[in-house]
Chains A and B, each alone.
Chain A
Amino acid sequence: MIQDFTYLKPGTVKEALTLLTDHVDECKIVCGGQSLLIPMRQGLLVTEYLMDIKGLDELSYIKYDAKEGLKLGATTTHRAIEQSDVIKKHYPVLALMEERLASIQTRNWGTIGGNLAHADSAGDPAPVLMTLGAKVKLASAKGERIIPLDEFYTDLFESAMEHDEMIIEIQVPPPAAKMGAAYQKFNLLQNDMGVVGVAAMMTADANGTCKDARIVLGNAGVTPIRAKNAEQVLIGKKISDQLFVEAGEAAAGDADPVGDIHASEDFRRHLIKVLTKRMAKQAWEQASK
């Protein structure tokens, strides 16, 4: 049973930020609510005020510019991202990730800002966006700041957001030349939460060596994890299948998984090893085309 709360419905972002400051430490923000309402109903989350930003259409947009890259408003739905032609063209990995995110019903109502703010380590968008070098724009009544998504996650369901801040935009830089990116999660039902997930991005230089690599592990620790040792195995190297195997082994070491009803710690490390090898290879095949 959801505990009672006072419902706040701002009409503009400005109004939302004022309300947030007025009720700081007592206010949760709901947008699609596809993640938030579940722990609320289970009695795990109780809040004095609930501020509903679902209707803030000024934050629902997908903008792309070859110089500036991609800008996603926080209340943009997953389904809008999945179906966006500009995203399919410039960031196909994002659209493919969204296709496998929960069900159509959830994607129709759930939003990208809500998903990131919920800070679930098993969320699909964060690993993919982190490999693409995304940043989040946070706003409070005092002003705005932009931080890399890499620095956004601090602990289990915890983020670097202050209690008077909210996500208003996600920014993704333009795709680099000769870049490839891939994401896969392991699960028994195709669109479930991943037991683990691995996102990889690689770029190639003119000589066919790996210029840059980013590998991010989902549900492999309390936050999404950059597998920096695995990245170092690849960066600056002439790529071979053996290197993908080594990157997988390094990523398994970078992970910090727990065992639970879905998989043991060892099995999670094994999955990370295999998925990292496969995703890096897929990313490289696109990059070196």
Chain B
Amino acid sequence: MEKKAIVLNVNNQDYELYINPKTLLVEAIRDYIGLTGTKRGCETVSCGACTVMVNDMAVKSCSILAIQCQGMKIITSEGLEKNGQLAAIQNAFLHEGSYQCGFCTSGMLMATSALLKETKKPSKNEIKESIEGNICRCTGYNSIVRAVEGVANGKYKEGSL
């Protein structure tokens, strides 16, 4: 199999990878780049645990070829924090208890971050729609919706804990 040399820009850093073209984005991020915040879940575009942002859009990295994302801006949950300061949405999740086992959390953070990029003041319905493709099996969705509302209305800001 002819491997390909590609460059992926993840969290504003370029990574040169030498990969089989069948490598999925989630595999490139986790196994080649070593960022394990992004989770492998159902691997059938159903659960949302692998959600990352590509060019500010939420997408499921389990069903995208890494090679398709060359020249695009990929952000994972590790890329939310800036200079040791948590993003507002991360603070909101912490304070609202929007996680329990934590497996869905990075996907939830990326899906809701993409929503907040698109609209600063989302309605409750828009918030619910943004996480329609993300399954949480323990803490439930209400605390996640509250966290996004908290960012939208300015209750939570970026900063350290």
A interface, CB within 8 angstroms of B:
2-7, 9, 30, 32-34, 37-38, 41, 50, 52, 54-55, 79, 102-106, 108-109, 190-191
Neighbour of B20 across the interface among A4, A103, A105, CB < 8 A: A4
Q: Give the Cβ gap from A279 to chain B, nearest Cβ, in Å.
A: 23
Give me 7 A-to-B residue pairs in the complex whose CB atoms sit less than 8 angstroms apart, sorted by A's number: A30-B65, A33-B68, A37-B65, A52-B68, A104-B114, A109-B59, A109-B63
A105 touching B59 by the CB < 8 A rule? yes
Known: A103-B48, A105-B48. A4 touches B59 (CB 8 A): no
**B132–A103 contact, CB under 8 A?**
yes
B45 touches A34 (CB 8 A): yes
Interface pairs A-B: 10 shortest CB-CB: A103-B133, A7-B21, A108-B57, A2-B22, A4-B1, A105-B60, A109-B59, A37-B63, A105-B133, A105-B58
B133's nearest neighbour on chain A, judged by CB, is A103
With A34-B45, A108-B58 known to touch, is A7 a contact of B67 (CB < 8 Å)? yes
From A2, A54, A191, B132 is in contact (CB under 8 Å) with A191
- For the complex, what is the distance from the CA of A6 to the CA of B1, rounded to whole Å? 7
**What residue of chain B has the Cβ atom nearest to residue A6's Cβ?**
B2
User: Is B113 interfacial (CB-CB < 8 Å)?
Assistant: no
Our pick among B21, B64, B129 for the contact of A33 (Cβ within 8 Å) is B64
B2 touches A52 (CB 8 A): no
Q: A2-B22, A102-B45, A105-B58 are in contact. Are A191 and B65 (CB under 8 A)?
A: no
Give A31's nearest chain B residue, CB to CB.
Answer: B68
Q: Tell me the minimal C-beta distance from A100 to chain B in angstroms.
A: 10
- Contact A38 B63, beta carbon cutoff 8 Å: yes
Contacts of B59 in A (CB 8 A): 105, 108-109
Query: Is B4 an interface residue, CB under 8 A from the partner?
Result: yes
Q: Is the CB of A5 within 8 A of B45?
A: no
Shortest Cβ distance from B37 into chain A, in angstroms? 17
A37 to B67 Cα, complex, angstroms: 14
B64 to chain A, nearest CB (A): 6
Chain A residues, Cβ within 8 Å of B132: 103-104, 190-191
Q: How far is the CB of B5 from chain A (nearest CB, A)?
A: 12
Q: Which of B1-33 contact A (CB under 8 A)?
A: 1-2, 4, 20-22, 24
Residues of A within 8 A of B4 (CB): 7
Q: If A104-B133, A105-B58, A191-B133 touch, does A33 touch B63 (CB 8 Å cutoff)?
A: yes
Alpha-carbon gap, A106 to B45, bound state (A): 7
Residues in A whose Cβ lies below 8 Å from that of B130: 104
Report A261 CB to chain B, min CB distance, Å: 15
User: What's the nearest-Cβ distance from chain A to residue B23, in Å?
Assistant: 9
The residues of A that contact B44 with a CB separation of less than 8 Å are 38, 41
- Residues of chain B within 8 A (CB-CB) of A191 are 132-133
Q: Give the contacting residue for A41; candidates B43, B133, B134; CB below 8 A.
A: B43
A5 to B44, CA, bound (A): 20
Please name all residues of chain B whose beta carbon is closer than 8 Å to the beta carbon of A33 when the two chains form the complex: 63-65, 68
In whole angstroms, what is the CA distance A2 to B134 when docked?
24
Name the residue of chain A whose CB is nearest to the CB of B23: A2
Residue ID in chain A nearest B43 by CB atoms:
A41
Q: Which residues of chain A come closer than 8 Å to B68, judged between CB atoms?
A: 33, 52, 54-55
Instruction: Chain A residues near B43: list those with CB within 8 A.
Output: 41
Establish whether residues A104 and B111, one from each chain, have CB atoms under 8 Å apart when the complex forms. Answer: yes
Residue of B nearest to A99 (CB): B129
> Which B residues lie within 8 Å of A103 (CB)?
45, 48, 60, 132-134
Q: In the complex, which residues of chain B have a beta carbon less than 8 angstroms from the beta carbon of A79?
A: 57
Chain B residue nearest in CB terms to A8: B21
Q: Is B38 an interface residue (CB 8 A)?
A: no
Residues of A within 8 A of B77 (CB): none
B76, CB-defined interface residue at 8 Å: no
